[in-house]
Amino acid sequence: MYALPYATLPIAILTAVFSFLVLFFIFRARRGKKPKIRKIPGLDAINDAVGRATEMGRPMMYTPGLVGIDPICMASMAILKSIVKLAAQYDTRVIVAIYSPEVIPYAEEICRQAYTEGGKPNLFSPDDVRFISQDQFAYASGTVGLMHREKVAANFMMGSFAAESLILAETGQQIGAIQVAGTTSYMQLPFFITTCDYTIIGEEYFAGSAYLTQDPVLLGSLFGQDLAKMIILGILLLGIIYSTAEGLDDKVRPLARNPVFRRVLGMDTAKQREQFQKHVKNLSEEIRSRSAGIAQAQVRLEMLQTPSLLSAEVTRLEKNEKAIEERIATYQADTKLNDRSYLAVWENRLNNLNLEVRELQSESYLQDERARLKHKIKSLKVEVESRRVESKKLYAEVIDLEAVLTPKLNEDRKQLWAENDRLEREIIDAELGD
């Protein structure tokens, strides 16, 4: 059976505690004790934006950005429902620009429900939920054109955005629309902050549906999750204190070694100590084996740096391997080889082979081989240099010969051409005479 690597008892306890907190605050909110949430100016500004659009008699634009069916889209649709429901009370249109086709039926149903709950189901028009394009900048261009043509009074951008964020926000600013933007993309937040009137940042975006609807289930879930995050941060803080105390002086170190302190952090169980010791032992063995492997690799590297020695060693080992294989075959076929004297001879030969191997591995032998190879390389360099000088001399002689022979060859060539012309004229004259 497959076991999750982090499915430990502390994780199970924390999961149970967090689930209990969320359920507890949900039931508590249902009984009328709703938790208080701090004010979010960007969400409070939605009422002002809808009121301004109503006074100006112009529609509003809602842009969920480059979203598919995902958590960001669901949070955006929850905010859309609150905006449309509020707009229905004032008979104000809300135009939704869609990027992904699968979001269209979702957005249409959200708008239909919002208008129905707002008491104006006849105001819903499927044409107000418009598919623009699945191409990023085509979507941005289509939305910009729609904003200019409809002369929207408010522009809401809630969802996932990329490079088109500044294009949309600047257009809203140019036409004088009040703008409220919200996204979880930290790379686009600077553009929204500089161009929009209000910006909803990070976690505020996901809290928007609970903040606007004041639904007890959403409020209780939000409060329980925030409390769970605070507990996780507290555990992280204790871990940081523990890790820091381990590296401090002896006056503070006893705190980190206190059994109660370690038990609270879940780091002083016998099973964990045993696992840690086993892990340390395995690491030590692995370090020893790798050190031995490194030493062998260094020896092999030194041998590889001397090609002649390596070639000779390979040849010798191949011969020895072949000879041993032949002797083994003979030994298996001949029962006389069981004689102790014969085995003693082979033991002596094996000892000699071991001595040769030790000699090859000795530092003095390798130094001599290196010195011999360096001397040979030096002599070869000298010989190459002398050959190069020789070739230069020969090339100079060839140039000189060409300089001497070329004029004479040209003169001889001209004489041959003149003689050839003379013979041709004689032949022509002879033919005309006949």
Q: What H or E segment, with its residue span, contains residue 198?
A: strand 198-201
Q: Decide if 90 contacts 59 (C-beta within 8 A).
A: no
- Each residue's pLDDT tens digit, 151-166: 999 999 998 898 888 9
Q: Which residues are within 8 A (CB) of 247 and not within 5 positions of it... i.e. 6 or more apart?
A: none
Taken in order 339, 345, 348, 349, is the CA torsion positive or negative?
negative
Q: Decide if 28 contacts 120 (C-beta within 8 A).
A: no
- Each residue's pLDDT tens digit, 194-207: 999 999 888 888 87
Q: How far is CA 64 from CA 72, 97, 167, 424, in A?
A: 9, 7, 14, 97
Output the pLDDT for position 366: 66
Instruction: Point out which residues pair with 320 in neighbouring strands.
Output: none
> Which of 135, 59, 151, 61 has its CA nearest to residue 101?
135
Taken in order 403, 408, 414, 416, is the CA torsion positive or negative?
negative
What is the mean predicted confidence (pLDDT) over 258-287? 61
- Each residue's pLDDT tens digit, 307-325: 666 666 666 766 776 677 6
Q: Which residues are within 8 A (CB) of 11 and not within 5 positions of it... i.e. 6 or more apart?
A: none
Output the pLDDT for position 349: 72
Separation of alpha carbons 210 and 22, rounded Å: 14
pTM listed for this prediction: 0.53
pLDDT of 173 over the 80 cut: yes
- Radius of gyration of the chain measured on its C-alpha atoms: 45
Coil vs helix vs strand at 159: strand
Taken in order 69, 75, 81, 87, is the CA torsion positive or negative?
negative
pLDDT of 332 over the 70 cut: no
Output the pLDDT for position 277: 63
- Each residue's pLDDT tens digit, 5-23: 566 777 788 888 888 888 8
What is the mean predicted confidence (pLDDT) over 68-81? 88
What is the mean predicted confidence (pLDDT) over 266-271? 54
Q: What is the DSSP letter of 156?
A: E
Instruction: Point out which residues pair with 182 in neighbouring strands.
Output: 158, 200
